[in-house]
Amino acid sequence: TRRITVRDIAAAKQRGEKWPMLTAYDAMTASVFDEAGIPVLLVGDSMGNCHLGYDSTVPVTMDEITMLSAAVVRGTRRALIVGDLPFGSYQEGPTQALRNATRLVKEAGVGAVKLEGGERSAHQIELLVSSGIPVMAHIGLTPQSVNAFGGYPVQGRGEEAAQQLLRDAKAVQDAGAFAVVLELVPAELAAEVTTMLHVPTVGIGAGPECDAQVLVWTDMAGMTGGRLPRFVKQYARLREVLGDAARSFADEVVGGAYPAPEHSFH
Ligand code: KIV
Ligand code: NA
């Protein structure tokens, strides 16, 4: 078996095939998704919220992304692994972006990187791509800018915002991105972007017309606690399952039912 590459991703759009993407932050979970046939795994900076206990993606560092990306690469054989460039690791300019993307490729072994921003990040994308590093772009709601957005509002509403989103999509494609995440964009506008671009769109809260769909794995599997965004569908109730297992273990230890004779050595 060989890994999925960005060329396979391009071919899927030619054939009109939709594909799924999930986040992963550790080797074992990644191996489950790899065995389930998920072709692309993102080591997202959503690890800030979902894995590291921060309350946004903003504090996530290159060291954290590099360590967890390496774990996800080690846990998988077939999936294309995309490492997210965290806040502050590419905003200074193309040279900084190349230094940090190179680190993810060399130290973690990712097959591509992702960064946020449309027109504003085009120069970074151009240098990475011309240096041989495939780039997934990310436009619409870009969570690293939460302090500027003042929250996580739907993007591209109104004529002016829609025109800007179309310019951003065109800019990242022209800069050489192999795919574009569209986050929290009205379905009609996401459909328009998907038709306009020859590279695939990867929707999250962007309706059914995108070429691919991505979800944060802990949301998708019902592991995340508390309120979830409207675009999330939970395909399992892992939080309940795991909590029940922990409570059963605790009860049996306290009650003396575990370990039983078959778990003991004599
Ligand atoms: O970090 C992340 O999980 C992401 C996806 C939601 C696209 O950027
Ligand atoms: Na991200």
Quick one: which atom of ligand 1 is closest to the CA of 202? 7
- Ligand 1 centre to CA of 247 (Å) is 32
Q: Is residue 245 part of a domain?
A: no
- How remote is the CA of residue 116 from the centroid of ligand 1, in Å? 10
Range of the domain at 59: 6-220
Query: Tokens for 132?
Result: 């041989």
Question: Closest ligand 1 atom, CA of 57?
Answer: 1
Residue 113 lies in a domain: yes
Closest CA to 217 of 20, 18, 24: 24
Task: Name the closest-CA residue to atom 8, ligand 1.
Answer: 44
Which residue puts its alpha carbon closest to atom 2 of ligand 1?
44
Does residue 253 belong to any structural domain of this protein?
A: no
For residue 143, give the ligand 1 atom closest to its CA.
8
262: in domain: no
Residue 45 is assigned to a ligand binding site = yes
* Residue 138 parent element (H or E): strand 135-140
Q: Which residues pair with 21 in a beta bridge?
A: 40, 214
Token readout for 10 is 């391009």
CATH of the domain at 190: 3.20.20.60
The protein residue with its alpha carbon nearest to ligand 1, atom 4, reads 44
pLDDT in tens, 178-215: 999 999 999 999 999 999 999 999 999 999 999 999 99
Domains in the chain: how many in total?
Answer: 1
Q: Are residues 69 and 83 in contact, defined by beta-carbon separation less than 8 angstroms?
A: yes
6 Cβ below 6 A of ligand 1: no
**Rounded to the nearest whole angstrom, what is the distance from the C-alpha of residue 115 to the centroid of ligand 1?**
10
Residue 258 lies in a domain: no
pLDDT tens, the chain, 266 aa long: 799 999 999 999 999 999 999 999 999 999 999 999 999 999 999 999 999 999 999 999 999 999 999 999 999 999 999 999 999 999 999 999 999 999 999 999 999 999 999 999 999 999 999 999 999 999 999 999 999 999 999 999 999 999 999 999 999 999 999 999 999 999 999 999 999 999 999 999 999 999 999 999 999 999 999 999 999 999 999 999 999 999 999 999 999 999 999 999 99
pTM, two decimals, is: 0.97
In contact, 139 and 193? CB cutoff 8 Å: no
Ligand 1 in reach of 23 Cβ (< 6 A): yes
183 counts as catalytic: yes
For residue 22, report the distance from its CA to the centre of ligand 2, in Å: 12
Please report where in the chains the tokens 């870009």 appear, as a residue. Answer: 142
Specify if 242 maps to a domain: no
What is the amino acid identity at position 169? A
